[in-house]
């Protein structure tokens, strides 16, 4: 079985992976080197790797500061490059696509905090024995959708 990785590359995002038996999560590392070391460390030479990477939104709107979008795009570039060098099969996934793979509706009129809590609650339903946080919830949902082949 392939190693499957789900990544929310945001400043407060996370990386979650499933090795065929266990799901593990980590907060998004703070440096480019740490991101690369983490990805290298969880992959094995004898195992195919499928990585599902959330793409940055094309339009951020007023609620997301430019500094957060800059870091998100930077993280995406670092992760994309590391995945390419490590030989991972990379699936780039728009947020709306992975969210659609879960029965949570849309953000609609909810505040960002309310919406993030809906996503966290869904991740907790799927992983009741894990410590689900706001930093790993999106990555867990991306991972789940990738495992079920509900995206790309």
The residue among 59 and 47 whose pLDDT is bigger is 47
Tell me the CATH number at 117.
3.30.420.10
Domain presence at residue 152 = no
Buried b / exposed e along 59-95 (16+ C-beta atoms within 10 A):
eeeeeeeeeebebbeebbebbbebbeeeebebbebee
Domain presence at residue 56 = yes
Mean pLDDT (whole number) for 77-89: 95
Domain presence at residue 97 = yes
Mean pLDDT (whole number) for 21-37: 95
Please give the pLDDT value at position 5: 97
Q: What is the pTM of this model?
A: 0.92
Q: 110-146: per-residue pLDDT in tens?
A: 888 999 999 999 999 999 999 999 999 999 999 999 9
Domain residue limits at 31: 3-147
Please give the pLDDT value at position 89: 96
Mean pLDDT (whole number) for 40-54: 90
Number of domains in the chain: 1
């Amino acid at each position: 079985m392939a190693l499957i990785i789900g990544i929310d590359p945001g400043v407060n995002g996370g990386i979650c992976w499933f090795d065929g038996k266990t799901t593990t999560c980590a907060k998004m590392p703070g440096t480019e080197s740490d991101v690369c070391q983490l990805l290298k460390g969880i992959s094995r030479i004898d195992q195919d790797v499928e990585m599902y990477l959330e793409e940055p939104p094309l339009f951020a709107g007023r609620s997301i500061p430019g500094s957060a979008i800059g870091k998100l795009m930077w993280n995406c570039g670092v992760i994309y490059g590391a995945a390419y060098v490590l030989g991972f099969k990379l699936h780039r996934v728009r947020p709306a696509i992975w969210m659609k793979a879960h029965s949570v509706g849309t953000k609609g009129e909810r505040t960002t905090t309310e919406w993030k809590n809906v996503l966290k609650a869904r991740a907790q339903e799927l992983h009741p024995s894990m410590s689900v946080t706001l930093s790993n919830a999106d990555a867990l949902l991306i991972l789940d959708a990738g495992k079920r082949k509900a995206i790309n």
